[in-house]
Amino acid sequence: MIETFINIILFAMLVLTALAIVRIDQLFGVVMLSGVFSLLSALLFVTLDAVDVAFTEAAVGAGISTVLMLGTIALTARTQKKATRSGFVPFIVVAVTGAALVYGTLDMPSFGDPNAPAQLHVGPEYLAGSITDIDVPNVVTSILASYRGYDTLGETAVVFTAGIGVLVLLSGLARRRREDEEEEDA
Amino acid sequence: MHHHHIILRVVTKMLVGTIILFAFYVQFHGDFSPGGGFQAGVIMAVAFILYGIVFGLNKAKQVFPAWVVHKLVALGVLVYAGTGVASMLLGYNYLDYGAFNPHHPSHGQHWGILAVELGVGITVTGVMVAIYYAFAGRPPPMKDEDW
Amino acid sequence: MINVDFIIGHMNYWLFIVLMMTGLYIVVARGNLVKKIVGLNIFQTSVFMFYISIGKVTGGTAPIYPVDSQGHIQVDPSLTYSNPLPHVLILTAIVVGIATTSLALALIIRIREEYDTIEEDDILKIERELSAQDSKAHGSAMGGRA
């Protein structure tokens, strides 16, 4: 009962934050509210039993992502121009997409159903195997690093590639331009 | 800038060490409690980013030079992939950690998970700090007073 | 006809879809590139919450086994655990998400340096003017047909 109550409060705050982000023109406020959104979603992850995910979301979404976005608006612009287009066509697009997604959920098992297909296969085997094969109490760690080690290797490679991409876009070009100028001076 | 924000500077000096310690705790205690390489990497990066924000980018680059950061970005992926190669050289499948202790496979799993999580942590730390350096090193179009 | 159990069981999914669609609306309706990225982040986080909610088991707890003082796992058969697999997939997706978001932000910074604006409408206008100039410059060389 108390869990449902907490969920409803968190949802209400998430929706309010999202609507405020739609309306506000000051980008500083938008970035701060997106940090708030991340923190609220981290709370929701805790009520959904995903403590590892909540931890990551709180550190990444509310921490690093806010810093990077503030850095970006410091380098670009502080406000957005007033919207000139009407919001009607986007609203239709969003409503149709949302209706299609809701239609898709109608066949899904109920929230928290222990007999849902997602709960019957693979998951229980990992839960049991984590005791016998790996002997690690945190099942999330044992799946992340051992059962699904290939996945995580791929994800690490993606993080690596994105980092290289940012370096090429921002620092690499600056250095090349500086070298060009030095050549012109010489 | 140098004589402002005394409270921020003092609090930051006290916090940075604690944050790094917490990052190591999250990294190496990830088997028993929430945490692991991804979270630890982000928290470790946050320590350096906080230092950079309060004391300036140049001070942060003295503590943690950019070339070291760039090496770490690649080193983590190499540690991860190298763990797999090591298990292959011992005659097992790629990333089969049983190789590291054939008589007691679950101990081998512990070593494997430790190495792999370390690789993830190193890469994530490197990438996050490198991204911050790249963003902060860009000349801003406006001065601070225009805010 | 109205089934209350069905509605309560699916309410969570619909609320996540409302959040997703708010994010999508920001992406489609707002012209500022930074705001588009924030909208994309909201969409992304809502998908994460949707995914995690699929792994939730009623009465379950976080998938971490209790240990005794020597660090050995103590299995308590009375406890049920939520499905850990979605947690793993989303945990890595969050970190990959911030890496790709920063790539997008870096692109925005480069766009501002080239175009001096981050509003989609202005960028399109500049693009149109540039291509009009191009076709004027190269048009006569190609017999006025370009």
Which region, left, alpha or beta, applies to residue B91 given φ > 0 means left and ψ of -120 to 50 means alpha? left
- Among the listed residues C9, C98, C7, the one whose alpha carbon sits nearest the alpha carbon of residue C53: C9
pLDDT classification of A174: cutoffs 50, 70, 90 = low
Residues 6+ apart with CB under 8 A from C47: C16, C20
Note whether residue B96 is domain-resident.
Answer: yes
- Among the listed residues A15, A70, A68, the one whose alpha carbon sits nearest the alpha carbon of residue A44: A15
pLDDT tens column, A18-41: 999 998 888 999 999 999 999 999
Name the token pair of B110: 């512990």
Taking the CA of residue A186 and the nearest CA in chain C, the distance in Å comes to 26
For residues C59 and C80, give the distance between their C-alpha atoms in angstroms, rounded to a whole number.
7
Domain membership of residue B46 as a residue range: 6-146
pLDDT mean across residues, chain B: 88
Chain C residues within an 8 Å CB radius of A75: 109, 112
Task: Tell me which DSSP letter residue C69 carries.
Answer: T
ipTM of the complex model? 0.88
**Can you give the pLDDT at residue C142?**
63
SS3 at position B17 = helix
Among A119-133, B85-99, B114-128, C69-83, name the most confident range.
B114-128
Chain B residues within an 8 Å CB radius of C106: 131, 134-135
C-facing residues of A in 105-164 (CB < 8 A) are 105-106, 108-114, 116, 118-119, 122-123, 126-127, 130-131, 135, 137-140, 143-144, 148, 151-152, 155, 158-159, 162-163
**Can you give the pLDDT at residue C146?**
47
Cβ <8 Å between C109 and B138: yes
pLDDT tens column, A71-97: 898 888 788 777 667 778 999 999 999
For residues A43 and A62, give the distance between their C-alpha atoms in angstroms, rounded to a whole number.
12
Across A21-45, b (16+ Cβ under 10 Å) vs e yields bbebeebeebbbbbbbbbbbbbbbb
Taking the CA of residue A185 and the nearest CA in chain C, the distance in Å comes to 23
On whether the CB atoms of residues A37 and A17 are closer than 8 A, the answer is yes
Which region, left, alpha or beta, applies to residue B34 given φ > 0 means left and ψ of -120 to 50 means alpha? beta
**Can you give the pLDDT at residue A111?**
86
Sign of CA dihedral B48, B49, B55, B61: positive
Name the token pair of C70: 């020597």
pLDDT tens column, C30-44: 888 999 999 999 999
On whether the CB atoms of residues C52 and C87 are closer than 8 A, the answer is yes
Total structural domains within chain B: 1
Cβ <8 Å between A97 and C53: no
Name the token pair of A151: 């996945």
Residue A122 has pLDDT above 90, yes or no: no
On whether the CB atoms of residues A44 and A10 are closer than 8 A, the answer is yes
Domains and CATH numbers, chain C: 4-58+83-115 (1.10.287.3510)
Note whether residue B1 is domain-resident.
Answer: no
Mutation target to probe the A interface, by most A beta carbons within 10 A, among C43, C45, C76 is C45
Cβ <8 Å between C106 and B34: no
Mutation target to probe the A interface, by most A beta carbons within 10 A, among C56, C108, C124 is C56
Helix then strand count (H, E) for chain B reads 5, 0
Name the token pair of A32: 């701060």
Note whether residue B61 is domain-resident.
Answer: yes
Residue B145 has pLDDT above 60, yes or no: no
**Can you give the pLDDT at residue C8?**
82
Note whether residue B80 is domain-resident.
Answer: yes
DSSP conformation letters of B70-135: HHHHHHHHHHHHHHHHHHHHTTS-TT-GGGG-TTSHHHHHHHHHHHHHHHHHHHHHHHHHHHHHHH
pLDDT tens column, B98-142: 888 888 888 888 899 999 999 999 999 999 999 999 998 887 765
Note whether residue B31 is domain-resident.
Answer: yes
- Touching subunits for chain C (3+ Cβ pairs under 8 A): A, B
For residues B115 and B80, give the distance between their C-alpha atoms in angstroms, rounded to a whole number.
7
